[in-house]
Chains A and B, each alone.
Chain A
Amino acid sequence: MKFKFCMAAAAIVFSATSATAQTDDVVGESVTAVADESAATAEPADAERAGLLPTEPADGCELHIWPAERMASQSSGWLSGLGLIGAIADSAANAKTNSNNQSLLATALDSPSQLDALLNLDLRSELARSSGTTIVLHDTPLERKTMNKVKNRRSDSQVTCYSELIVADVLYQKSPIYGRSLKTLFMFRDFGGDQKIDKEYKAWGGNGLKLFPPKEGEDAIAALDELSTKFKDNFAEYARNARTKLVAK
């Protein structure tokens, strides 16, 4: 009985975490401490990547990008609609699948792949940055729990035109009603010339999946590639909303 209660608690906490994370606005405890050590000391990723430097003369603006470190898989069946016991049974029944999926997310969307996917897009246009903006990639993800708390710049850059794009969460969801989807939580922050956030937008982008997840042993390449494609689609969806919302702020 105690075991069942624990499983139920876990399922509830997972659900609660997910639900909380899906809010659009960031309402976090304000912390003025310096950005966490890993971020402050992290070297920008491969400076040789194409697309980092603007095609037009650089205007001193920088857009810093961090990949996500948190990835989750939530598969639920019809049992979840049958109350607590059903949710417990569902969690147990899908445990191995969720664990496998989590590994595959970490594989297909490792930090370099996330950054490559984003760099394939026209980030300056997508995020309404100037065409002279220099893009700075960080290979090391930020610690997830500091994301909302730290309110100052997450890099040590001192440029007077500074913004950040942080990938916060990657989530695979399967539900009996809505099917399979990949969701990604992004956060954009525009600092201008100081350490204070001028504009901020945090929201999920989500798109349906047709191939993922593959079964163990079957050809999985197309399914893994689909994650990268949907990751980009999620960002495009997020960016569309961001442009609208940020103009209104």
Chain B
Amino acid sequence: MPLAAVALCVAQSLSAEDAPAVSADAIQEPSAPTQPACQLHVWPGEDFHTVYYGWGHGGTVDGSQKGRAGYDRVLADPLSTARQARLLEAQPIAELLGLNSYEVTIHPDRLSSREIRTKAERHVVTSPPCYAELMIDTIVLQSHVLSGRGLNIVYRFRQFDSDPAPTRVFGTYVVEPLEIDLTDKAEPDPVVFTAELERAFNENLKEFAANVKTPRKKKK
């Protein structure tokens, strides 16, 4: 089944005339007259990973989820793919990215890391020439005994025109500090933990979008 057919279309129109809601049929037929000029497709990521540096131990990826001794206990699924999709729906993503005329489609499923990193062409084949995609590559709850905790999200953004190759490819990571207390003894309060991760997720996305609009220059 084409990705577009299962896409959860979310109209994030900035005005009624420039971004009408799109049906699945319209996405499947690029030549249809109702198709918007530009589309932005967004994919959520996998549930978060964890990394940890403690006193004399650490390094195991997902040590928390695996229940390893000494690793902070975390709750399963506070940023599941479905929850990310809901958070993304609530954000004015096109506006944040400076793509005001684009109609946004939030996909309910994530792409695999292989798809994200190796597929050169657009992920939605039946899309208009004016097309962009935003993928959440990886989310990591990082924790260091000396520097604290943060939500590190790696994003990939690509823009296309009529050419098969993207006109722009940009990917980076953003770390949003987390204000939560975690221990290896007990699970965190689910309400507090989830709220903080959701806050960090939303702030992180805004920071990434700002980087898309004005990328930082590399130091020579």
Contact = CB atoms under 8 A, between A and B. Distances in A.
B144 A220 contact: no
Interface extent on B, as a size class? 35 or more
A211 to B, nearest CB: 10
A110 B113 contact: yes
Given A96-B147, A106-B51, A217 B59 contact: no
A92 interface: yes
A224 B55 contact: no
Contacts of B154: 103-104, 107, 220, 224
A102 B59 contact: yes
Contact of A13 (B56, B172, B217): B56
B2 to A, nearest CB: 20
A75 B51 CA distance: 17
A113 B46 CA distance: 15
Contacts of B146: 7, 91-92, 95
A217 B208 CA distance: 7
A99 B114 contact: no
Q: Is the interface of A mostly helix, strand, loop or mixed?
A: helix
B49 interface: yes
Nearest to B211: A217
Given A72-B59, A106-B138, A107-B137, A219 B171 contact: yes
A179 B147 CA distance: 23
A178 to B, nearest CB: 21
A144 B145 CA distance: 21
Interface string A197-233: 0000000000000000011111111001100000000
Interface in B184-220: 207, 211, 215-219
A218 B174 CA distance: 10
A112 B114 contact: yes
Contacts of B61: 69-71, 106, 110, 141
B169 A221 contact: yes
B143 A14 contact: no
Contacts of A98: 53, 144
Nearest to A112: B113
Interface in B142-179: 142-147, 150, 152, 154, 156, 169-175
Given A10-B55, A71-B61, A217-B216, A113 B142 contact: no
A78 B211 CA distance: 32
Interface in B35-72: 49, 51, 53-62, 66
A100 interface: yes
